[in-house]
Amino acid sequence: MSESKLAGQFFDAAIGLLQRVREEEAGAISAAAAAVADAVAGGNRLFAFGAGHSSLPAQDVVYRAGGLALMNFLAVPGTAGVDVMPATLGSALERVDGLAGAVLDSSPATAGDVLVVISLSGRNALPVEMAVNARALGLTVIGVTSVAYARETRSRHASGTFLKDHCDIVLDSKIAVGDAELSLDGIDAPFAPASTVVTSAIMQAVMAAAAGELAARGIEPPLLRSGNVDGGHEWNGRVMQQYGDRIFFRH
């Protein structure tokens, strides 16, 4: 099979997943957007969390041109991104009990805020405890996960539960267990993961719908502009000043 045909198959798989999410998760995406809009309108704050590769869709909506300025990345040291050394440390930390509580207790998150917890499998201690602790603090928790893992794998949390069991709103990414869309004779392992593409699209869809919801309420969405267009830095400076008490990635 040619390399170009495999590339095309990956695009087809990703597009198919995006279509499923668009059709099957429309109600949940609208609910998540309304929750985000409620927090913005109510003077509350927005946070996103993900560990390992699940941190990438979370980071994708933080300090992003065209995105909501109030979205803050809730970082857990050693788990964000792929520059952790050794690389296996991030996966190990996802299984550590108590880490999520320590991070939340030292964060600015408080009752009335929204936290998006992103975890493909939703089975490790860190995302489960993050959701549990956030709800105990009075936050609205939106989970972005693959519900298939809850059907086909076992939880690694002591409770035996998954992320989806502790969320106010669940967005199902539809990713199959294993997160690999392609296989080929002569290659022993499945390959071509699509979770980042799909989950990032879910996050951007929620942010877009939230901006529309705010506009429908007569509220100007606190959006950032690109710094690479004329006037962008000045626009962003005004937004940062106006909402500075709700933006925690600024100095």
149-194: pLDDT as tens digits: 999 999 998 899 999 999 999 999 999 999 999 999 999 999 999 9
User: In whole numbers, what is the pLDDT of the chain averaged over residues?
Assistant: 93
Q: Record the pTM.
A: 0.93
Place of tokens 């792929």: 82
Range of weakest confidence among 126-130, 184-188, 246-250 = 246-250
The CA-atom distances, in angstroms, between 93 and each of 48, 52, 90, 161, 216 are: 18, 10, 5, 18, 42
| Predicted pLDDT of residue 78 | 67
Asked if the bond preceding 221 is cis, omega within 30° of 0, the reply is no
| Cα–Cα dist 118/139, whole Å | 15
Q: Summarize pLDDT for 95-124 with one digit per residue, the tens.
A: 667 778 888 988 999 999 999 999 999 999
| Predicted pLDDT of residue 132 | 96
pLDDT(25) > 70: yes
Task: Give long-range contacts, CB 8 A cutoff, 24+ apart: 58-63.
Answer: 58/116, 58/118, 58/203, 60/200, 60/203, 60/204, 61/203, 61/204, 61/207, 62/249, 63/224, 63/249
Contact between 145 and 119 under an 8 Å Cβ cutoff? The reply is yes
| Predicted pLDDT of residue 101 | 86
Range of weakest confidence among 63-67, 88-92, 163-167, 244-248 = 88-92
The CB density around residue 164, as the number of other CB atoms within 10 Å, is 20
The H-or-E segment that residue 141 falls in is strand 140-145
| Predicted pLDDT of residue 2 | 67
